[in-house]
Amino acid sequence: MLLGYFEPGKEYSIEELEKITTKQPEKGSWTMSFSIWFANHGYKVKHYSTFNFEKFKTEGINYIRDAYGDDIAEWQLANTDLSEAQGKIDDYLKKVELVEKKPTVADVKVEMRTGYIIRAAVDSGLLNDTPKYEGHSVVVIGYDNDSIWFHDPGLPAQESRKVSNELFQKAMDAFGGEMDAIKKVH
């Protein structure tokens, strides 16, 4: 979704996208790989989060369980490659600006006004009014005083999905509070 925004004339194959994100079959991917890719290709990346990358590097799933609870830890164990993510941390910390706070809808709007595109981590279960936690990423494309618009890859996929500021904030908070602000600088 981000590449489609920044490079609309360029087509990427599924294989190329999986290489950029280090996505593995039937699993989600951590943001570190694509953030490093963007930083290596002339983009500035800011990461908003209270996630302690150093603790995660040394403690792994125990850190996630202690910081975010059993549901999120179990989802991460089942749906991501933790050791691959841990191996990216040193490079990531060199290339990405960390903003050590939980992001707010106000942060989304400020960064967008200064030219950044936002990739927000959300609980799609909350957005879709289902009881099951589901880690998910969306790309914010607009806002007004009361709402946020974003491309949601689904399932089901929804372009220009609109939700209230309050629901979007709850969905970010339920994930643990994380977003990336990305813009082309060269």
**pLDDT value for 52:** 94
Under-70 pLDDT residues of the chain: 155
**pLDDT value for 153:** 76
Q: All domains of the chain, ordered by start, with CATH?
A: 1-186 (3.90.70.10)
Q: Look up tokens 């709007």; give the residue.
A: 109
Strand order in the sheet with 135-143: 97-99, 43-49, 178-184, 117-123, 135-143, 147-152, 158-164
Cβ-based neighbour number of residue 85 at 10 Å: 21
Residue 114 gets which letter from DSSP?
Answer: T
Task: Determine the length of the chain.
Answer: 186
**pLDDT value for 131:** 79
Nearest to 80 by CA among 39, 116, 44, 31: 31
- Cβ(140)–Cβ(149) below 8 Å: yes
What's the CA dihedral at 24, 42, 101, 4 to 10 degrees? -50
- Cβ(105)–Cβ(165) below 8 Å: yes
The 10s digit of each residue's pLDDT in 118-152 is 999 998 888 888 877 777 889 999 999 999 999 87
DSSP 36-50: HHHHHTTEEEEEEE-
